[in-house]
Amino acid sequence: MDGGMVAAAPLLEVEDLSVQFVTREATVNAVSGATFNLKAGEVLCLLGESGSGKSVTLRALMRLLPGRARVKGRVNVAGQDALALKGRALQSFRGGTVAMVFQEPMTALDPVYTIGQHLTEMIRRHKGVGRAEARAQAIELLNLVKIPSAERRIDAYPHELSGGLRQRAMIAIALSCGPKLLLADEPTTALDATVQIQVLILLRRLQQELGMGTIFVTHDLGVAAEIADRVAVMYAGRVIEEGPVADVLRRPAHPYTAGLMASTVHDQAPDQDIAAIPGSPPDLRRLPPGCSFAPRCSLAMPACRQGFPEPVFPAPGRMARCLRVADVLQQPVGVHA
Amino acid sequence: MNKPVALAVAEIPADSDFDGAPATKVRGYWQSVGYRLRHDWVTLGFGVIVLLIVLAAVFAPLIAPFSPYAQSIIGRLKPFGWRGHPWGTDELGRDMMSRLIYGGRISLMMGLVPVVIATMIGGTLGVIGGFAGKVANTAIMRTMDVFYAFPSILLAVAISGAMGGGIVNGIISLSLVFTPAMCRVAETATAQVKNLDYIEAARASGAGTLTIIRHHVLGNVLGPVFIYASSLVSVSILLASGLSFLGLGVQPPEPDWGLMLSTLRQSLYVDPLGCALPGIAIFITSICFNLVSDGIRAAMDVRI
């Protein structure tokens, strides 16, 4: 799990990214000040429960949010200011520099086009090569993602493939134009368990071979442990803890991460109750003034409700936004914070 | 409880033959539609009848035993087989069979042309309305709703009545009648497709709006639109016949099934069978078109 820790300038820098959805009735703060960065060849897992802003963050990086979303902050991908791109530059940025693998391979492929048509359309658009050359490259890509008998499967429609093969085809499409940054939005959630691990291993290997930076969104701690170099834990639209995957999962520094770990099924006795985090995530229309986890946190102090805690760095490469990091780190894992 | 979380998942050979069902021969979409149609005897049977009607209309001059306009004072309303007239003569002594065959030309044209025009206009407006923003959608769809407020026959009669009779005016009025319905079908299909993941995926892969509409929206909207259009053909034939019957569509002496029905009505007690013939032609044609379009719809549905 050491991954390709290439020492280089960050491929992706996200600074103070916030996304608001404004409607007549309310303003929803889907993401409020997320900050993280990613080196080339590194896998970052965005971890968090539903509604914590993981998918919205991904879509903001690719500028896929609808017009009514207000995006603020700074997103820098391979030296380009992603939030300022327009027109042609934006189109070649999407798919060329950054590519995305979606959660549902069934609905993310157009049912009236074959896998090959999807691939060649994309290759021809971005590389401007001829039909035959694009088809040859498409078959190569299908071989790369280990689709058996690619020469025949290239003419298959999405509904003629199994879920796992479809997701492989999605990955091939995402990889077709050699992106520097791959965004994966829960790419294994819709697959069954045995296929999940195959797709994970494939993604991990391709990422290493091609040296892509990868952001992997998931709510599954096991998936994160399997694929990530680093994890960033999101809660209510903020990154509340970040660090190397083994450190964060073994010795969480934030009470929320500790709570997540405690509520996961691992080696407990079969009849043992699983500790749940009390309460529920905050209403994104009315975030509490201080730390958004404070209302559910057993370690909360009055100071926690004053303002959102500034980042602290308990160890090199680790970040947590909590006033009581020292206390959390001392606790054994699995005991509820 | 104090154990660290298991980080390493048991090694699974990465190159194992994952969900690799044997690669069977992949049949393309149109191939499987053709396969399903070939095994649907009902659709095939009625398709043959439709084909015969169309062929008869196209080759009318070669098939018709007499001129459809030649009148005969002494040979009026004669029964089947009278002096070589297989289906008798009408109230002006014209050969019924020839008039029915020639009438098929006009009836089929009145069935197809308004539907094609309405599909193009309504389909375009519907896709724009479904894909564009709220303002364009409201403008287009509320306008269409105004047309919807009138029953289709009433609207066709009103437009034809205001513009006068004739084939061209009949086609225009029927096109106007069908446009709102086509527009609604196209708009609904577009709105459904617009929110699907593959539109977002196409955008994520760098496709522009026009490319997305051309490939991904049209490709998925054309199916439902085509199916609905094919079911409108029989309605159009019926409405056109109705207009002719009321004297608002085709003008005499042109042979048209609706018009023939109207003029033969006065002879109902003299020659009831002859009077029924144009009605039977309308009935057979429209039911055949309906059943064939039903069969095509079933064959084109991937999920069945």
Concatenated DSSP letters of A58-85: HHHHTT-S-TTEEEEEEEEETTEEGGG-
Closest chain A C-alpha to B143 CA, distance in angstroms: 26
Asked if B77 contacts B199 with a C-beta cutoff of 8 angstroms, the reply is no
Cis peptide before B13 (omega within 30 of 0): no
Is the Cα torsion angle B1, B2, B5, B11 positive or negative in sign? negative
Amino acid making up residue A22: V
Helices (H), chain B: 29-38, 41-58, 60-63, 96-131, 134-148, 152-163, 167-194, 197-204, 209-211, 218-245, 257-264, 272-300
Among A110, A174, A266, whose Cβ lies nearest the Cβ of B6?
A: A266
List CB contacts (< 8 A) between A152 and chain B.
23, 25-26
| 0.90 surpassed by complex ipTM | no
List CB contacts (< 8 A) between B203 and chain A.
64, 94
Helix H or strand E encompassing A57 = helix A54-61
- What was the pLDDT predicted at B297? 80
Residues 6+ away with beta carbon under 8 Å from B10: none
Give the pLDDT means over successive 10-residue stretches in chain A (337 positions).
Answer: 50 90 85 88 88 88 86 88 86 88 86 88 88 91 89 86 88 89 87 85 88 89 87 90 89 88 76 79 84 86 86 87 83 54
**Domains of chain B by range and CATH?**
106-260+286-300 (1.10.3720.10)
**Vertex A284: Cα angle to A25 and A318 (nearest 5):** 155
What is the Cα–Cα distance from A84 to A93, expressed in whole angstroms?
11
Residue B12 and residue A198: Cβ atoms within 8 Å?
A: yes
Asked if B62 contacts B69 with a C-beta cutoff of 8 angstroms, the reply is no
pTM: 0.74
Residue B180 pLDDT > 60: yes
- What was the pLDDT predicted at B303? 54
Tell me: the pLDDT tens digits for A207-257? 888 888 999 998 888 888 888 899 999 998 889 999 999 888 888 888 898
User: Which option is the CATH number for A12-250: 3.90.700.10, 3.30.413.10, 3.30.70.1150, 3.40.50.300?
Assistant: 3.40.50.300
Q: Which of B129, B127, B179 is nearest to B152 (CA)?
A: B179
Residue B8 pLDDT > 70: no
Q: What is the phi-psi region of residue A153: left when phi exceeds 0, alpha when psi lies from -120 to 50, beta otherwise?
A: alpha
Among A99, A157, A222, whose Cβ lies nearest the Cβ of B205?
A: A99
List CB contacts (< 8 A) between B28 and chain A.
114, 155, 157
Average pLDDT over residues B49-56: 90
Closest chain A C-alpha to B32 CA, distance in angstroms: 12
Q: Which residues in chain A belong to E strands, given as ranges?
A: 12-22, 27-38, 43-47, 69-77, 80-81, 98-101, 181-185, 213-218, 230-235, 238-244, 319-320
Domain boundaries, chain A: 12-250
Residues 6+ away with beta carbon under 8 Å from B240: B107, B110, B111, B114, B170, B174, B249, B250, B256, B258
- What was the pLDDT predicted at B86? 78
Residues 6+ away with beta carbon under 8 Å from A215: A12, A38, A43, A44, A45, A46, A58, A61, A181, A182, A183, A184
Tell me: the pLDDT tens digits for B80-103? 777 777 787 887 878 888 888 888
What is the Cα–Cα distance from B75 to B250, expressed in whole angstroms?
25
List CB contacts (< 8 A) between A220 and chain B.
none
Tell me: the pLDDT tens digits for B230-283? 888 888 888 888 888 888 878 888 888 888 888 888 888 888 888 888 889 889
List CB contacts (< 8 A) between A165 and chain B.
19
Closest chain B C-alpha to A283 CA, distance in angstroms: 26
Beta bridge partners of A239: A234
User: How many Cα atoms within 13 Å fall on the side-chain side of residue A263?
Assistant: 13
